[in-house]
């Protein structure tokens, strides 16, 4: 079956929707570093008409000001399916693993909470990229990226009970240090909880993240330090509960002291703070202190 013609830039939009699942025009424009919103709108309109993408748009009076949300359509999936790349050893691999790409057939069934979390991840990536400078840069690995069997962080898919939506590698450099090297690395794993997540699920997930760090399962292959866990809770009451639960497990089950270098670091914020101030703001609570990323 011959697909309708599209431009390389439009194919780039399809790859972004594969990576982030749900995006609005503003996010697509920011991720593409494109200045002309009219060109983006024209590309999106053409892709929608050719069934490469679908859109969610409310005509309700109170929601008409909200931008449309886009996700992969049937032709978009067909377009991405045959794409491949060749690794350093000359082996050819699919750019989008079939097991991951098949999930895109059911995007129209995703909940509003799922769409919201996907777009929050995209916003976080945009904010982090804006913070790049000569002495600091961020590497960003989404779940769709590390799901690839050949990716260096594929080991995260085998971790029991944790589902980070984003892995962040923060590289920092001292004055005069070679910026082509790794610098000082800090790793973060970000997970945003759905507003409907029950307390027992939050409790279970916190325990699994602590177990993951206790068992030294972090295996990036580059001697990177264990990650700091960033958890976004739906409400303030959930944040207070999560902080208390994490401290209890760390103190009572594993007996780590506050000054123990091996003590896991779990930091918390609320969805409202993340959306209002952004991931790079000083919104992450650990104990009585606030941190940025």
State the Cα–Cα distance between residues 88 and 30, nearest whole angstrom: 31
State the Cα–Cα distance between residues 104 and 257, nearest whole angstrom: 45
Distances (CA, A) of 246 to 21, 52, 251: 30, 44, 9
Residues 103 and 185 in one domain: no
CB atoms within 10 A of CB 240: 13
Residues 101 and 196 in one domain: no
The pLDDT of residue 217 = 74
Cross-strand pairs, 188: 168, 228
Helices (H), 65-171: 74-80, 98-101, 112-130, 143-146
Residues 96 and 138 in one domain: no
Q: Kindly report the CATH number assigned to the domain that includes residue 86.
A: 1.10.10.10
Residues 121 and 8 in one domain: no
pLDDT classification of 256: cutoffs 50, 70, 90: low
Residues 101 and 116 in one domain: no
Residues 131 and 237 in one domain: yes
Q: What is the pLDDT of residues 178-227, one digit of tens each?
A: 777 888 899 999 999 999 999 999 999 999 999 998 887 786 656 678 89
Q: Where in the sequence is the domain holding 177, given as residue range(s)?
A: 111-293
- The 8-class DSSP code of residue 2 comes to P
The pLDDT of residue 225 = 81
* Order of strands across the sheet that contains 69-72: 23-24, 69-72, 53-56
Residues 134 and 270 in one domain: yes
pLDDT classification of 254: cutoffs 50, 70, 90: low
């Amino acid at each position: 079956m011959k697909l309708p013609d599209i431009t390389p830039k439009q194919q780039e939009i399809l790859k972004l929707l594969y990576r982030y699942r749900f995006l609005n025009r503003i996010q697509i424009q920011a991720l593409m570093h494109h200045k002309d919103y009219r060109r983006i709108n024209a590309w999106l309109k053409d892709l929608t008409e050719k069934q490469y993408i679908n859109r969610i748009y409310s005509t309700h009076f109170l929601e008409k000001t909200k931008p449309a949300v886009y996700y992969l359509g049937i032709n978009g999936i067909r377009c991405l399916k045959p794409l491949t790349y060749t690794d350093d050893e000359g082996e050819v691999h699919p750019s989008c693993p079939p097991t991951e790409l098949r999930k895109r057939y059911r995007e129209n069934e995703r909940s509003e909470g799922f769409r919201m979390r996907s777009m929050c991840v995209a916003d976080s990536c945009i904010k982090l990229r804006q913070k790049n400078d000569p002495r600091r840069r961020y590497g960003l690995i989404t779940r769709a990226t590390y799901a690839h069997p050949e990716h260096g962080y594929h080991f995260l898919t085998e971790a029991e009970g944790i589902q980070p939506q984003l892995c962040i590698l923060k590289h920092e450099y001292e004055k005069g240090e070679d910026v082509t090297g790794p610098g000082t690395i800090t790793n973060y794993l970000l997970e945003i909880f759905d507003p409907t997540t029950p307390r027992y699920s939050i409790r279970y997930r916190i325990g699994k993240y602590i177990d993951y760090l206790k068992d030294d399962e972090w295996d990036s292959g580059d001697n990177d330090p264990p990650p700091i866990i960033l958890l976004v809770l739906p409400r303030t009451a959930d944040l207070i509960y999560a902080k208390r639960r994490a401290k209890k497990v760390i103190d009572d089950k594993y007996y780590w002291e506050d000054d123990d270098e091996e003590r896991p670091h779990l930091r918390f914020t609320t969805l409202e703070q993340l959306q209002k101030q952004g991931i790079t703001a000083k919104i992450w609570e650990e104990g009585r202190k606030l941190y940025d990323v």
